[in-house]
């Protein structure tokens, strides 16, 4: 959903998901992104059970999810941060556009990530 963030600036709001193997690592990723204003908010949840293909085998792992609230304008920087800070060889980093949200929340989100 494109939102007005002031003075004619609009951008698409996104949720960005990653996973990691401990709550401490998840909180570190979340805190780093919010402190750097790459995300307005990050939520850690888990544990979750992930089942996936890896190196020709099916793996099962206990993981923690981190969901970041950001904008399309900040996505590339958030992705670069996650790739640099993450200890997985191929971390899950997936963005989903926000199709509906309150205008007040979107305005807050935009203000929080607009000040790097």
What are 5-48's pLDDT values in tens digits?
444 445 799 999 999 999 999 999 999 999 999 999 999 999 99
Using CB atoms within 10 Å of the CB of residue 115, give its burial: 0 to 12 exposed, 13 to 18 middle, 19+ buried.
exposed
Which segments of 15-56 does DSSP mark as H helices, in order? 23-35
Strand partners, 62: 49
pLDDT reported for residue 9: 47
List, in order, residues 6 or more apart from 1 with CB less than 8 Å away: 12, 13, 97, 98, 99, 100, 101, 106
> Which CATH number is 13's domain given?
3.30.70.120
- Global pTM reads 0.90
pLDDT reported for residue 70: 97
Structural domain total, the chain: 1
The parent domain of residue 53 ranges over: 2-113
| Residue from 8, 99, 25 nearest 62 by CA | 25
């Amino acid at each position: 959903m494109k939102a007005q963030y002031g003075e004619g600036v609009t951008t698409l709001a996104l949720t960005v998901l990653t996973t990691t193997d401990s709550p401490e690592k998840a909180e570190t990723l979340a805190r780093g992104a919010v402190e750097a204003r790459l995300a307005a908010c990050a939520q850690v949840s888990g544990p979750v059970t992930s089942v996936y293909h890896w190196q020709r085998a099916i793996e099962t792992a206990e993981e923690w999810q981190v969901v970041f609230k950001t904008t399309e304008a900040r996505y590339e920087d958030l992705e670069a941060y996650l790739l640099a800070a993450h200890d997985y060889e191929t971390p899950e980093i997936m963005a989903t556009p926000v199709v509906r949200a309150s205008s007040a929340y979107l305005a807050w989100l935009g203000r929080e990530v607009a000040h790097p």
